[in-house]
Structure 1
Amino acid sequence: MDYWMAFLVGGAICGAAQWLMDRANISQIHMLVGLVSIGALLGALGVYDQLVEVAGAGALLPMSGFGYLLAKGIASHEAGQGWMNMGANMFQYIGLELSFVITLSFVAALICKPRG
């Protein structure tokens, strides 16, 4: 059941984003920024936590999950630790996701012929 919920929620997020891009003529970069911003906002309000409990990776893998993890890293920052520690807390949560994306991009560039 967990796999189905992850599939349905992640697919709903991505499907809604694709539908908006098709119908409202929104560019890909605007949708990317919108998803990250919505994820960060919902994460700061505590709403995205409930979605992650229900869907797990289905809510964390789209770009809205990236914004949620950024907000979670900032929220875990304790007062008096300084700005550098806030940045370290952000990357503590998103480090695995960033390293996966960089590795996957490198492998895709080796397999496919990049343009430009």
Structure 2
Amino acid sequence: MAAYLMAFLIGGLICVIGQFLMDLTPLTPAHILVLFVVLGAVLSGFGLYQPLIDMAGAGASVPLTGFGHALVTGTIEDVDKHGFWGIFSGGLRASATGVMAAVIFGFTMSVLFNPKG
């Protein structure tokens, strides 16, 4: 039960920060998307995001900051394993499943439902 609560609180806090940024700043949703991905990547680079994922689980790994974290951790792992070429393969390998799921589910929903114009 505590794990669910932490996932809800941390995930909700990330979403609240995004909502405040949309409501109180002139930033567009695209700017906020990029900001969250870069923030997750930077925090991962400094080793600060993994403890948050350990504490909150999906509440920290599912939002956009978790995508930035996945890119950085995948790149670091592949650089350790393959050297220089890991820079190019790590982020792709680490995020391929999530990106492919988004493409497949998006395509499936567009086939099943009539989109509004």
> In structure 2, what is the Cα distance between the partners aligned to 1:44 and 1:13?
19
Aligned twin of 1:78: 80
> In structure 1, what is the Cα distance between the partners aligned to 2:90 and 2:82?
14
Q: Between Structure 1 and Structure 2, which shows a larger proportion of helix residues?
A: 2
Deviation sequence 1:73-110 (CA, Å, 0-9, x none): 12111276333x33222222212211221122112322
Q: Percent identity?
A: 32
Aligned twin of 1:10: 11
Aligned length: 114
Structure 1 position 114, deviation (Å): 5.0
Q: Which runs of 5+ in 1 are unaligned?
A: none
Task: Report the TM-score, using the length of structure 1 for normalisation.
Answer: 0.88
8 Å Cα contact 1:9/1:59 also seen in 2: yes
Aligned twin of 2:88: 87
Deviation sequence 1:13-66 (CA, Å, 0-9, x none): 011111111111210100001001100000000000110000111111111110
Give the counterpart letter for 1:33 in structure 2.
V
Aligned twin of 1:37: 38
Structure 1 position 2, deviation (Å): 1.2
> In structure 2, what is the Cα distance between the partners aligned to 1:72 and 1:49?
9
Aligned twin of 2:99: 98
Give the counterpart letter for 2:84 in structure 1.
G
Aligned twin of 1:22: 23
Q: Which runs of 5+ in 2 are unaligned?
A: none
Task: Report the TM-score, using the length of structure 2 for normalisation.
Answer: 0.87
